[in-house]
Chain A
Amino acid sequence: MTADVIRVVLADDHAVVRAGVKAVLSSAKDIQVIGEGSNGKEAIGLVDRLNPDVLVMDLSMGEMDGITATRELVEKETRTKILILTMHAEDAYLVKVLEAGASGYLVKSAADRELVDAVRAVAHGDLYMQPSATRALAKGIQRKSEHADEREKYEKLTERERDVLRFVAGGFSAPEIGEKLFISPKTVDTYKQRINEKLGLSHRSDYVDFALKLGLLTK
């Protein structure tokens, strides 16, 4: 930051949106828009050239999208903080954006008032998200920490029993599991019997329920 002025570059493929964002940011005395681009590639070029404090960037843009541009900038170890400003309100985009290395995520339909605060926050090294996004992230973390009992029981299974459990829950029959694990269908049934003894799972719905609780069906 130069003399406490936050230097910002905008990247959005809609000129009218850039104009609107610029109008909002211009109302803050400590923020100065120093460049504009219409896609991820141009944004990277502007960051290289102008070394701004914050890049406010859309996700869906032609030539190069916002997530790809974020990844490239993070790989280059740029000092510029990236604030994503998008129409996509789904939590899944937020997770991808944070994984890519962005510092903030704002949905356009609710961003006008918060935009200035968000730019200031990321410029000072903080993460910025709207409250709804924070709730979604917190819920995801909470889910992972639940079901400690099931996790403990699962730890008692052998590696092969865990494989069988995942495959049964995933919809595979005993012969198909046998083929995948290079064992006979009869051996698969033996493993299922052991799983039943250790975890009390008998029907496939029990397997599905158990596997989903522990997030085993994600690979």
Chain B
Amino acid sequence: MPATAASLLGSPPHRVPPILVTGARHFLRAPLVLKVMGANAMIVVVVLLLLGNGLRTTEEGAILVVLGALALAFVVNLFLVRLALSPIAELERVAGRVSNGEFGVRAIPSLVADSQVSRLTDTVNGLLDSLAAERRRIQKLGTEVISTQDIERARLARELHDSIAQTLAAVRFQLSAASADASDDEMRNRLSAVRGMIGKAMDEVRNISVSMHPRIAEDLGLVTALEALAHQTEAHGKLEVRVGATIGDLPVPPSTAATLFRVAQESLKAAEGRNSTGSVDILLYANDGSLCLEVIENRRGVDSGVPASDNSTSGLASIMDRVELSGGVMRVENGKDGAVRVTAALKATEAAS
């Protein structure tokens, strides 16, 4: 709830005459130096009046008045300084929250701050507004860059799949037919060798095409694509990968699907790169308008015979940038046993992705 004037001043204003409230506000909004000088001057005047009105008859009385005035001046000065610095504490709190990622937080203007501190609050809030606008602009730009990259990768992958790989397939079929027609054994063997090479080239082209753009997510949906990824990883023989999804028929925007698929892909690559052995669970669920993906490594041990790849985490770092530029959040947490847990959440709507 936003702070109201009444809550900041403490007491209901209707009990105090308006003229006094206005006067108090003017006094509190005055620069700190003036406030301190004014308050001290008032104390001095009161002391002089008291001393002039008979309290100087005894020396003890005069000493008491001076000591009382000094104590009062100390308390008043302390109060005024604290009051003047309270908006600075608010600024410190806001700076802390912004540095923790809460970019929407702003300093609440204080009704008792002196004008210089008020200006400082306004300047900081203005700065944060500019920062937020700049951040939005960069985020939009980043999303556009990612989207353009995705389109280009998809185009190239399609080109590889639909053009080069198909042509290679056609060549292989023709070689097979020629081999069947050949009467010479040597010729048949040579044709068979070429056919084998073409088959390898087709597999390589297909692998490049799949790694550039996971078409399976578009064709069969994100859950099926994750399951296929799990099978592929298991086929490497190091990890058991299980997939659990509770998103039902929730439509997943293509760019969100592509990003979450890449999170899973890079997380599994990183697990393999660390020579992790054991199982990995991939969970996909919808929560509060976001699609969440968790990749949980259940580590049994590390194969010490094979050195860990230096690049095992670089893919995760780049995919983290991608998730954040898409307006999502991603965390990579390390457990005590070296097992890693990756969590990514992206808005389920197309606009945010």
Contacts and interface: CB of A to CB of B under 8 A. Distances in A.
Are these two chains actual partners, yes or no? yes
Interface of A: 13-14, 16-17, 19-21, 23-24, 26-27, 60, 87-93, 96, 108-110, 112-113, 115, 136, 166, 169-172, 176, 205, 208-209, 211-213, 216-219
A47 to B, nearest CB: 22
Contact of B246 (A93, A115, A217): A217
22 contacts: A16-B167, A20-B172, A20-B177, A21-B173, A23-B173, A24-B176, A27-B177, A27-B180, A27-B181, A88-B216, A90-B232, A91-B228, A92-B227, A112-B176, A112-B195, A171-B285, A171-B294, A176-B287, A208-B244, A208-B296, A217-B245, A218-B245
B169 A110 contact: no
A206 to B, nearest CB: 11
Given A24-B176, A96-B220, A110-B199, 5 more contacts: A14-B162, A17-B170, A170-B285, A218-B244, A219-B246
A87 B165 contact: yes
B70 interface: no
Given A87-B165, A93-B220, A20 B173 contact: yes
Given A171-B292, A212-B244, A92 B169 contact: no
**Which of A87, A169, A211 has the most B CB atoms < 10 Å from its CB?**
A87
Nearest to B195: A112
A109 B202 contact: yes
B337 to A, nearest CB: 12
Contact of A205 (B228, B248, B296): B296
Main secondary structure of the interface of A (DSSP, over half): helix
B235 to A, nearest CB: 9
A205 B298 contact: yes
Main secondary structure of the interface of B (DSSP, over half): helix
Interface of B: 161-162, 165-167, 169-177, 180-181, 195, 199, 202-203, 206, 216, 219-220, 223-225, 227-228, 231-232, 242-246, 248, 281, 283, 285, 287-288, 292, 294, 296, 298
A27 B177 CA distance: 7
B177 A23 contact: yes
**Which of A91, A108, A208, A218 has the most B CB atoms < 10 Å from its CB?**
A108
Contacts of A96: 220, 224
B166 A208 contact: no
Given A20-B177, A92-B224, A171-B292, A208 B231 contact: no
